Amino acid sequence: MTKGNPLFVDSTKLQTDSIGVNIELTNLFLREGESAFIKVTNEKGQVNRTALKYLEQDNLAQGQLWLFHQQKISYQFYITKGEDVLFTTDLLESRASYILQHQWQPCFKMSSKEKVKKAAISKKPKNKIKTQTKSNESVSKGVERVSSIMAKWGF
């Protein structure tokens, strides 16, 4: 969790005060049938979930949750289609404040070598849940994910 600057903490709110937290997931492109959600877990393990409203013209999904001011939370965004969870973000941490904003990581381009491997890998069964991870995952897992993403977007 990043350090908090007390300059930007509302002095009129106590930690027992409930505040409306506006949620924004930016840089998001949803296809027909897909939906965006957020799952928030507080220190006590209580879980809050809400669907986000997609604003196509702004490439943005918005929502609101009521949380306790400056409460430590962990949260995760996910994209679903029907019953299936297609993508999720890493588990993120913060303190509840007025805005919870996250930039959805865009798809990355496949190199020519990866395109050659795609044909063989695309026959493998696809996992329903795809997770965005940091760059230290193995090359094969990365290629598998790239190929499924490329297939999904029709490249």
Partner 1 sequence: MSIVSVINHKGGVAKTTTSINVASSWAKMGKRVLVVDLDPQASATHSMFGKEEFKKTVFDVLVNRVPAKEAIVHAEEFNVDLIPSELLLSGCDIQLAAFYGRERILKRALDEIKDEYDVIIIDCSPSLGLLTVNALLASKEIIIPICPEYFSIKGIELILDTIKNIRAGLGHKVKIKGVIITRFRNRKVIGRVLEDVKEAFNIKVFKSYIPDNISVEEAHHNHLPVHKYAPRSKGSIAYRALSKELLNDEG
The piece of 26-34, 39-47, 95-103, 144-152 that touches partner 1 (CB under 8 A) is: 95-103
Burial of 40 (0-12, 13-18, 19+ CB in 10 A): buried
Smallest gap from Cβ 8 to partner 1, in A, equals 3
The piece of 49-57, 82-90, 92-100, 106-114 that touches partner 1 (CB under 8 A) is: 92-100
**CA dihedral of residues 10, 47, 103, 59 (deg, nearest 10):** -110
Smallest gap from Cβ 7 to partner 1, in A, equals 6
The site for partner 1, by CB under 8 A, has a size of: 12
Mark residues 11-40: x for contact with partner 1 by CB under 8 A, - for none.
xx----------------------------
98 contributes a contact to partner 1 by CB under 8 A = yes
Bridge partners for 111 per DSSP: none
Residues 101 and 24: beta-carbon distance below 8 Å? yes
The Cα 24–Cα 71 span in angstroms is 18
